[in-house]
Amino acid sequence: MQKICFTPLNNLNIRNIIFDLGGVVLDIDYEKTLAAFKKLGVERLDSLFTLTSQVDLFNRLDCGTISANEFRCELQTLLNKDIPFAEIDRAWNALILNWDPKRLALLEQLRLNYRVFLLSNTNIIHSELYNKQLETLTGGHNLTHFFDKVYYSYELGMRKPDRRIFELVLEENNLKASETLFIDDTPHNIDSAVNIGLQSYLIKPKEGETITTLFG
């Protein structure tokens, strides 16, 4: 079988690939979460949470320094609204869209020629939902099936663009940065990866780019 190459950087000696999750492997839409909270009477969530900046509460959830219930309680306080936990979760998870079977098939193909990793800024509430959805779609496989190793920020206690999180993945798996491709949809994360020597690509999902269009 011919080796699948990453066409924008096919001149490089890539042996390892680190994927972001949201916006890369799994489509997400932050506007859907903002709209869902607006239906609950929350008008200002967009001032608290965006793709590139978050208030401390969301950072702590992503870093796993607070529990899901602590997050829900603090969010009620922050918003000054007694929203039921189930409604918080429903609105918070609204940004998660459907899995693309073609991307999942690509990941399985890539593992025949590359070491493949996932590095995601994510939290326990989101993780439980998208892994459950994935297991339903695939007959029992969660994300660990598609990668050599999965790294979630809430399990590591740190999140991108902290350079330590990239260094951890490299050191734990004996990866050379110059032989490792990192794909993410957030410029700050790409900048941090480039600074430690990773071959990096800023994917642009709003322009129609997907990993299936970029690997040939």
Q: Which among 20, 62, 89, 185 is annotated as catalytic?
A: 20
Cα angle, residue 114 at apex, residues 209 and 171 outer, rounded to 5°: 105
Distance CA 145, CA 83 (A): 36
Q: What does each C-alpha distance from 115 to 33, 125, 151, 188 come to in angstroms?
A: 33, 28, 14, 24
Cβ within 8 Å of residue 80, ≥6 positions away = none
Cβ within 8 Å of residue 88, ≥6 positions away = 72, 75, 76
Q: Which of 183, 177, 190, 120 is nearest to 150 (CA)?
A: 120
Bond from prior residue into 205 cis (ω within 30 degrees of 0) = no
Question: Is 20 assigned a catalytic role?
Answer: yes
Distance CA 133, CA 129 (A): 6
Which amino acid, one-letter code, is at 179?
E
Structure tokens at 108: 């399985």
Q: Which of 144, 126, 110, 123 is nearest to 3 (CA)?
A: 110
Distance CA 43, CA 48 (A): 11
User: Which residues does the annotation mark as catalytic?
Assistant: 20
